[in-house]
Amino acid sequence: MKNLKGLITVVTGGGSGIGKSIATQFSKNASHVVIIGRTESKLKKTCEEITEHTRSVSYELGDVSNGESIKRTFSKIYKKYKQIDILINNAGFSSGKNFETENLDEWEKEIAINLTGTFNCSKQAYPYMKKTGKGIIINIASERGRNGSPDSSVGYAASKAAVINLTKSLALQLAKYNIRVNCIAPAAIDNTEISNNWSEELKQKIKNNIPLKRLGLPEDIANVAYFLASDNSAFITGCTIDTNGGLSMF
Ligand SMILES: NC(=O)c1ccc[n+]([C@@H]2O[C@H](COP(=O)([O-])OP(=O)(O)OC[C@H]3O[C@@H](n4cnc5c(N)ncnc54)[C@H](OP(=O)(O)O)[C@@H]3O)[C@@H](O)[C@H]2O)c1
């Protein structure tokens, strides 16, 4: 697989979990990566950790759910690097509550970050890709977006289902600019801010339901993202790859 030498990758929510792992993998493969998030201390720490192996990572503050904030963030990135080649829409939020306990504010926050955030960042990034005649957008959805949620947030599941659909519309509408748009639907990924709250008992219960009998790791998602960003997936667009150890078959 060719590396991503000279390409600029933007990863939203790159300060922790899956986004951090994607940033590490892409920067190790010669792409300069800009991570975006709302918490400066976290972004700084992640950049320092990645910089131990490679120099090619930096951060910008931005709230993906706020159209004006994210416009400023992308314009800063473009001014600094003069190109944006790959966008990973990874920032996400779940209230963790169920239909009976979730309130309207939590529902709206999930839609704003997970769905509107994906729209906002794609809208800001694609003109730069159009200019260079090629680009890659990768959205991070969820298994919950495929199957619905039996026990936790319905706003989260609905927003992720919409991200899978948005992926197809963007793929259809941006193909003429040679921009490929794909999606990954993970489940049960350990070593993230979300999974840090899971008890050992819950982790064991989740494992028992997964055909491959283990939790996923952020690196499992980073590997698929790298494939989708590389020329090895040159004929794939509008597709969602289930990355969940077989869980989505049940
Ligand atoms: N872990 C799993 O099992 C799992 C399963 C399916 C799907 N996913 C999806 O994978 C993606 C990454 O999640 P993760 O598991 O790695 O969890 P995580 O560690 O909580 O990462 C989420 C990141 O998004 C950032 N973020 C949240 N709201 C934001 C906003 N408005 N603007 C900018 N950044 C924002 C957070 O940083 P700040 O709060 O500092 O901004 C955080 O760094 C999410 O889309 C999640 O839904 C995860």
In this structure, are residues 27 and 50 in contact, taking their beta carbons and an 8 Å threshold?
yes
165 class by beta-carbon count within 10 Å (0-12 exposed, 13-18 middle, 19+ buried): middle
Domains in the chain, CATH or no CATH each:
8-242 (3.40.50.720)
Span from the CA of 113 to the centroid of ligand 1 (angstroms) = 9
Cα dihedral across residues 57, 63, 65, 70: positive or negative: negative
| 31-78 tens-digit pLDDT | 999 999 999 999 999 999 999 877 799 999 999 999 999 999 999 999
Q: What pLDDT, on the 0 to 100 scale, is given for residue 108?
A: 98
Average pLDDT (120-134) is: 98
In this structure, are residues 168 and 145 in contact, taking their beta carbons and an 8 Å threshold?
no
3-state secondary structure 158-200: HHHHHHHHHHHHHHHHHHHHCEEEEEEEECCECCCCCHHHCCH
Lowest pLDDT segment from 45-54, 84-93, 168-177, 229-238: 45-54
Q: How confident is the model at residue 127 (pLDDT cuts 50, 70, 90)?
A: very high
Residue 245 CB–ligand 1 contact under 6 Å: no
Best residue among 69, 93, 143 to mutate for probing ligand 1, ranked by most atoms within 8 Å of CB: 93
Give the residues across from 37 on adjacent strands.
Answer: 61
pLDDT for 1 beyond 70: no
| 129-186 tens-digit pLDDT | 999 999 999 999 999 999 999 999 999 999 999 999 999 999 999 999 999 999 999 9
**pTM over 0.85, yes/no:** yes
Span from the CA of 89 to the centroid of ligand 1 (angstroms) = 10
How many other C-beta atoms lie within 10 A of the C-beta of residue 138? 27
| 156 catalytically annotated | yes
Which residue among the candidates 59, 78, 126, 156 is catalytic per the annotation? 156
Residue 153 CB–ligand 1 contact under 6 Å: no
End-to-end distance of the chain based on CA atoms, in angstroms?
Answer: 33
Residue 34: phi, psi to the nearest 5? Answer: -110, 120
